[in-house]
Amino acid sequence: MFHHEPNRPSKASPAWISLQPPAKILEEADAAMTTLTLSDGAKINLTISGEGRPVVFVHGWAMHGGMFEPQHDALSKNYQVISFDLRGHRHSASHDAAATVERLGADLVEIFEQLNLQEAVCVGWSMGAMVAWEAMTQEIFARRVSGLVIIDMSPRISNDASWQLGLSDGRRPLAALRAAQAMRQDWPAMVHQFVPRIFSPNRKTNHGVHIAEMIEEANALNAETMADLWESMAVQDFRKTIRLLNIPTLVIYGEQSQLYPEATSQFVASEIPNCEIASFPNSGHAPHLEEPDRFNERLITFIEKLSSKTISNTPFIVAAH
């Protein structure tokens, strides 16, 4: 564990004002979609729009950065909005490195370093929240982040006799591992089972296009990679980590989530110091897609609060889980 104070510039000269990604890092730098090459050769597909404080979106398991298109549209007027495909997802081709939460967390750290992001807001949806929590255990990453947003995620997805705030189906570690085997045997069947549960059960008919597109895109993923990553998620436990995150945080959840109970997000918010919580009554697991206008308004309010606060002397307290 360590304590440190973020190395912040003065309020009169925000770090992001002069931020320009080095030309050698990004290909097709004038385009909205770019490619970043990590130190091990893995290529990560990014979409960058707008200028200002960086707001970085990290997607969930078997999803992709395009899930944040409504946020690019709304936030890029005043912020630099960044989304990307995690390693092994969509346009970020699988690499030799193992598909684990730890590996994805290290990738996120390197993305922030290579793009030289400062005073960023990191938004993690579902597994993306785990990736952000993993990255926050690294001082070099924590120094670059001024706000954290968590969308409908548990610090531990597996349940046991003493923990019932994981997946709503009560799945225990062995069941989670059996699910990974089922993925390897029949990935399309798992996709058709999982994707519709992302949305509110009362609004499925309104998300038919989303569901159809997401099923098609998820079917194209490598089943072995997704199963490996699921196994990694099933053994993670970030409960100690979130208690030690002293950074402004916003927890968002859908009241109709089919993946996690409301009590899960309420627990996360209660464990993180300096944390706000916002519920979305008409959403399931993806409020940013199901109620995008309200989601964007709430997110912007959170970011604006960061801009008005004196955060240069706020210590981070970060520990590995």
For residue 197, give the nearest of 210, 216, 186 by alpha carbon.
Answer: 210
In angstroms, the CA 92 to CA 95 distance is 9
**Any idea what the CATH number is for the domain that residue 128 is in?**
3.40.50.1820
**Tell me, what's the pLDDT at 111?**
98
Looking at the domain assignment, is residue 276 inside a domain? yes
**Tell me, what's the pLDDT at 206?**
59
**Side-by-side strand order, sheet with 145-151:** 33-37, 43-49, 80-84, 54-58, 120-125, 145-151, 249-254, 275-280
For range 187-197, the mean pLDDT: 96
Contact 1, 315 (CB under 8 A): no
Looking at the domain assignment, is residue 9 inside a domain? no
For range 122-142, the mean pLDDT: 98
Looking at the domain assignment, is residue 189 inside a domain? no
**What is the reported pTM?**
0.88
Q: Is residue 2 over pLDDT 90? A: no
Domain count of the fold of the chain: 1
Tokens of 77: 């007027």
Q: At 18, is the pLDDT very low, low, confident or very high (cuts 50, 70, 90)?
A: very low
Contact 104, 98 (CB under 8 A): no
Q: At 11, is the pLDDT very low, low, confident or very high (cuts 50, 70, 90)?
A: very low
For range 133-149, the mean pLDDT: 97
Looking at the domain assignment, is residue 207 inside a domain? no
Q: Is residue 23 over pLDDT 50? A: no
Looking at the domain assignment, is residue 214 inside a domain? no
Q: Is residue 1 over pLDDT 90? A: no
What pLDDT, in 10s, does the model give residues 219-230?
999 999 999 999
In angstroms, the CA 136 to CA 148 distance is 10
Looking at the domain assignment, is residue 36 inside a domain? yes
Looking at the domain assignment, is residue 185 inside a domain? no
Looking at the domain assignment, is residue 62 inside a domain? yes
Q: At 174, is the pLDDT very low, low, confident or very high (cuts 50, 70, 90)?
A: confident
What pLDDT, in 10s, does the model give residues 69-124?
999 999 999 999 999 999 999 888 766 667 899 999 999 999 999 999 999 999 99
**Tell me, what's the pLDDT at 123?**
99
First to last CA, the chain: 10
Full residue range of the structural domain in which residue 81 is found? 23-155+239-308
For residue 219, give the nearest of 182, 189, 257, 178 by alpha carbon.
Answer: 189
